[in-house]
Amino acid sequence: MIEKAKAFAAKAHEGQVRKNSDVPYITHPIRVAERLQKSGFREALICAGYLHDVVEDTLVEIEDIEREFGKEVAELVAAHTEDKSESWQERKQHTIDTVKSAEKEIKYLIVADKLDNLLGLEQDLKKQGDIVWNNFNAGIDKQKWYNESIAENMYTGLDEEDIPEYFRKYELAVQRVFR
């Protein structure tokens, strides 16, 4: 099922590129899913890693995910899908609230996604400088608020043994990018 999710995501994101570059978009969900897999998480969560942006950023609907991959994967993807009819501030606040109160697998998916986005941003800033902020719906101050809020709330409700190592990597990346 993991290879099927990877192929499905690749087809859905075909022709899309990452912000600030011409790198194929699929590289992002691949890195998210690989981080989840390296952390030893189960198949449904790894599949959700590949599929986490298809409903938000393509014509694929959550019903398509459920039909192809089952209810569990669809629920993980749905929990992490932003409602594009809301404002940037509302969408980001919803994600912060979700990462604070959600079950641990949803937290794992969100933080794996946010870490990969932030590491990509960090590389773009090194190569291109502050001009990269022009490609965002919200500037550096709001991005700082958002990422710091995710970092502050991601540990809520988790026991020490339930915290993957990449949570700390995310915290450190937030400090580096927004210091």
Contact partners, residue 43, CB within 8 Å, separation at least 6: 1, 2
Q: Which of 34, 57, 64, 82 is catalytic?
A: 57
- Of 56, 68, 82, 148, the catalytic one is 56
Within 10 angstroms of residue 20's Cβ, the number of other Cβ atoms is 19
Question: Is residue 37 within 8 Å of residue 109, measured between CB atoms?
Answer: no
83: annotated active-site residue: no
Give dist(CA 55, CA 38) in Å, integer.
Answer: 24
**Would you call 56 a catalytic residue per the annotation?**
yes
DSSP 43-80: HHHHHHHHHTTHHHHSS--HHHHHHHH-HHHHHHHHHT
- Find, among 96, 60, 58, the residue nearest to 80 by Cα: 96
Q: Which residues are the active-site residues? A: 56-57
